[in-house]
Amino acid sequence: MTHDVDLKVYPDQCDSYGHLNQAALVSLLERARWEVVARGPGMDYFSRQRIWPALRKSTIEYHAQAFPGDVLRCSLSLVYIGRTSFVLRQAMRRTGDEALIATAEVVFVCIDSAGAPTPVPEDLTQVFTDRSPGGTLRRMGVNGVNLVVDVRGRGPAILFIHGYPLSHEIWEPQMAGLEGWTRIAPDLRGMGQSDAPDLGYSMATYAEDLLALLSAVGVERVVLCGLSMGGYVAFEIVRRAPQRVRGLILLDTRAEADTPEGRKGRETAMALAREGGAAAIADSMLPKILAASTFAENPALAERVRQMMAATPVSGITGAIAALRDRPDSTPLLDGLSDTPTLVAVGEHDQITPPDKVRAMAAAIPGARFEMVKGAGHLPTLERPESTTALLGEFLSGLP
């Protein structure tokens, strides 16, 4: 399994003959390694666990010269894990002519704060597991990031926007079931397999990413279907580009901004993510996100949702928390949705966006239809997949 990281050569990294200097190349190799960690569990993955990967030995072979402006693709793979050590192999090729510039093998020993060898982190393999997409997934560069998106089918388009801290996988039953529609389900920046930059998260940025993504897949008008935070992003798209919205499906979401108390809760969640990582966030959210009956009837689903949350990069989690905390109030938009066919639905046992609140939001949207999904919590798409897909299909088939 390999990871690819593209790095550009600049004049200040070159010697007086204009070649990439060997010390600068060593630094690029290190940059590529950190980039892979940052794209995965976050830059602070090792320090969070109080484990430091000390470089014990590196063997580098220099094969060809590189020059300013060259883009070097560094492919990185984990080739050995011992008790306290691991080995990474890196190969650097110039994009364009594919010339092999350098290869390296780097041996690390994990040490604790006293400098003594300590076991490698248990989930190290996952950090270096290939996160590149396959099947119907594509990786697309839009708005300065690479987003992974599942695109299936033909016909009028529906854009599925997942909640926090989840991924396009919450729409799997609807992606499989809604034939006759072009189904588009991206991973928002910072979640799933999309890039997770350290900074720059807001509802506006998520919305701009998705508008650019729609243009990139050649879709002008679309039905928006947002769940929870996905609903907040859908409101932001309505605010920015109402002419592109053909219809609206709002699942388990709300229009109001956070209350002062809610904002305090975001700070607590931010601290938890920084200290305990994505796993701590997953453990704290899991009991609230699913109905009690889901845990009893479908423990495998509960575990799948926990893993989905725990696989979210920490930078994506903290970025999303800031975006949630700072999101604008969308209630002023509701009254203006009279020309937008709208379906509002919520899981019967949703604790995060309780049904009475969601019903009140639906009542404020002229002509909106409200439905309750029996037996579901905050994730009806997965907890009650058949009834949710049928509800969406019925709404879509009735659109003008």
| Contact pattern for ligand MLT over residues 159 through 188, marking x by CB under 6 A | ----xx------------------------
Its sign, for the CA torsion 111, 116, 120, 121, is: negative
What is the spatial distance between Cα 250 and Cα 230, in angstroms, rounded to a whole number? 8
Residue 49 CB, nearest approach to ligand MLT (Å): 26
Peptide bond into 165 cis (omega under 30): yes
Task: Check binding of 203 to ligand MLT (CB under 6 A).
Answer: no
Using CA atoms, how far residue 379 sits from 162, 200, 332, in Å, is 10, 27, 26
Among 229, 290, 311, 391, contact with ligand MLT (rule: CB under 6 A): 229
Among 250, 352, 361, 365, contact with ligand MLT (rule: CB under 6 A): 352
Residue 365 CB, nearest approach to ligand MLT (Å): 19
Considering only residues 317 to 346 of the shown chain, the ones binding ligand MLT according to CB under 6 A are 324
Residue 229 CB, nearest approach to ligand MLT (Å): 3
- Nearer of residues 25 and 290 to ligand MLT, judged by Cβ: 290
- Nearer of residues 133 and 163 to ligand MLT, judged by Cβ: 163
Task: Check binding of 228 to ligand MLT (CB under 6 A).
Answer: yes
Work out the number of other CB atoms within 10 angstroms of the CB of residue 193: 22
Using CA atoms, how far residue 140 sits from 16, 32, 210, 365, in Å, is 38, 20, 11, 34
- Nearer of residues 104 and 233 to ligand MLT, judged by Cβ: 233
- Nearer of residues 229 and 311 to ligand MLT, judged by Cβ: 229
Q: Which amino acid is at 90?
A: Q
- Nearer of residues 75 and 351 to ligand MLT, judged by Cβ: 351
Q: What is the CA radius of gyration of the chain?
A: 23
- Taking CB atoms, the residue at the shortest distance from ligand MLT is 163
Name every residue whose Cβ is closer than 8 Å to that of residue 36 and which is 6 or more positions away in sequence.
3, 5, 76, 127, 128
- The size of the interface with ligand MLT (CB under 6 A), counted in residues, is 6
Name every residue whose Cβ is closer than 8 Å to that of residue 49 and which is 6 or more positions away in sequence.
121
Tell me which residues touch ligand MLT (CB under 6 A). 163-164, 228-229, 324, 352
